Amino acid sequence: MTASIHSRLTRAAQVLLALLPLLVVPTLMAVASQTRAPMAAPPALPPPAEVDGFDFPVGPPDGAGYIVTQGFQDPASGRGDHLGEDWNGPGGGNSDLGTPIHVVAHGRVAMAQDLGDNGWGRVVRVVHRMPDGHEVESLYAHLDRIDVHEGDLVERGDVLGTMGDAHGRYSAHLHFELRSMARLPVGAGYGDPDGLYLDPSTFIAARRPGRVEPRRW
Residues in touch with Zn ion (CB under 5 A): 86, 175
Cβ proximity to Zn ion, 146 vs 166, nearer residue? 166
CA distance 90 to 104: 20
| Closest residue to Zn ion: CB criterion | 175
Nearest distance in Å: CB 161, Zn ion: 16
Q: Which helix (H) or strand (E) holds 6?
A: helix 2-36
Nearest distance in Å: CB 208, Zn ion: 23
Nearest distance in Å: CB 67, Zn ion: 14
Cβ proximity to Zn ion, 86 vs 135, nearer residue? 86
Write out the DSSP string of 83-132: SSEEEE-TT-TTTTTT-EEE-SSSEEEEEEEE--TTTT-EEEEEEEE-TT
Cβ proximity to Zn ion, 102 vs 175, nearer residue? 175
Nearest distance in Å: CB 200, Zn ion: 11
Percentage helix, strand, coil for the chain under 3-state DSSP, each rounded to 5: 20, 25, 50
Cβ proximity to Zn ion, 14 vs 202, nearer residue? 202
